[in-house]
A and B are shown apart, each in its own frame.
Chain A
């Protein structure tokens, strides 16, 4: 009870302080607020298309101007996935554990299984489209990767975890996650070999078709594919470990 009381007092005090601070915020939607007037965001809005030929500013800023940020966010996702496996993964106690008999795509219901068979390829196709078309429309590596991972999760929910594990085993998932980061970082190192800085895509101009701006545009696609690999694998690894208490057997 005392905890509740002190918690409430703390929340009220912090809330009043924050509400008092709202008076100093700029007006809602003010185009001349400090955040929108600043050099950086004006540069992003006005110069992105000249420098990278990518109409979607968010993708351009994400994968090119703030490439370091995105790379280490991807590493954080990878580390979180490895952490989940380290905390929860249970390899059983060796001989005492009898493996389940191999079951053919067992699942709840014929209708659910058939619908899943029909829908999963469509989801995966759309996810690939989202990754590839992130330059021109909302989307990119994170969204596409999550959708690809969600398609495997759907498979695991409808047909049982073994069916999904045959397509995306644990070893495969970790390899895929690591290879995503290696693609991202390797592309940055490739820039260094071509005489630029780390993740300075413009220096890859001799290797890629088009001029410097097109080289940056193409490099963004490569980097997004790397991000998508990592996110796909880690999302599925998170689900498969959490739904089975780390045993990776039956699933929900």
Chain B
């Protein structure tokens, strides 16, 4: 039994430990979104969920030997000024995949503006109900008095 568990860890968890941790983070966020009572806690859970997804996307673009997706000065000079063909200067494996970076960069900025919108709605709820706890808001709604 112990041997089996060790084998499982070695075969499935160790090579893909980052994916496992992304899933754990995502589930922490999902659990918080479902069960937390406080609206700001729910929003923090939502942000954790979102960052886990972004993390997954960015990690797709990683290559083992890669650096950042920016050409060095020498490479840029060689291609633009000396006119050498780019296939000769650039080795594809040396650069991280820029596509997920671009997609996630905009997603982060849009994420913060939508978080701002969510916080604005939270404040509006606080102005109307004078509480941020979900069950108290539901109580007040059940009793009526709010349109």
- Give me the interface of A with B, judged by CB distance under 8 Å: 3-4, 7-8, 10-12, 14-15, 18-19, 22-23, 25, 27-31, 33, 35-36, 40-42, 44-47, 49-50, 53, 55-58, 61-62, 66, 69-70, 73, 76-77, 80-81, 83-84, 87-88, 136-138, 142, 146, 231, 234, 238, 241-242, 245-246
Contacts and interface: CB of A to CB of B under 8 A. Distances in A.
A87 B64 CA distance: 47
B105 interface: yes
A85 B63 CA distance: 43
Interface of B is mostly: helix
A136 B69 CA distance: 11
B27 to A, nearest CB: 4
A238 B99 CA distance: 29
B95 A87 contact: no
A36 B98 CA distance: 9
B35 A29 contact: no
A242 B120 contact: yes
A28 B56 CA distance: 11
Q: How large is the interface on B (under 10, 10 to 19, 20 to 34, 35 or more residues)?
A: 35 or more
Nearest to B57: A35
Contacts of B102: 58, 61-62, 66, 69
A66 B31 CA distance: 35
Contact of B109 (A44, A55, A77, A136): A77
B137 interface: no
- Is chain A's binding surface mostly helix, strand, loop or mixed? helix
A211 to B, nearest CB: 11
Contacts of B24: 15
A55 B70 contact: yes
Contacts of A47: 86
B95 A4 contact: no
B86 to A, nearest CB: 5
Contacts of A77: 109-110, 113
Contacts of A142: 105-106, 109
Interface in B16-71: 16, 18-20, 23-24, 26-27, 30-31, 34-35, 59-66, 68-71
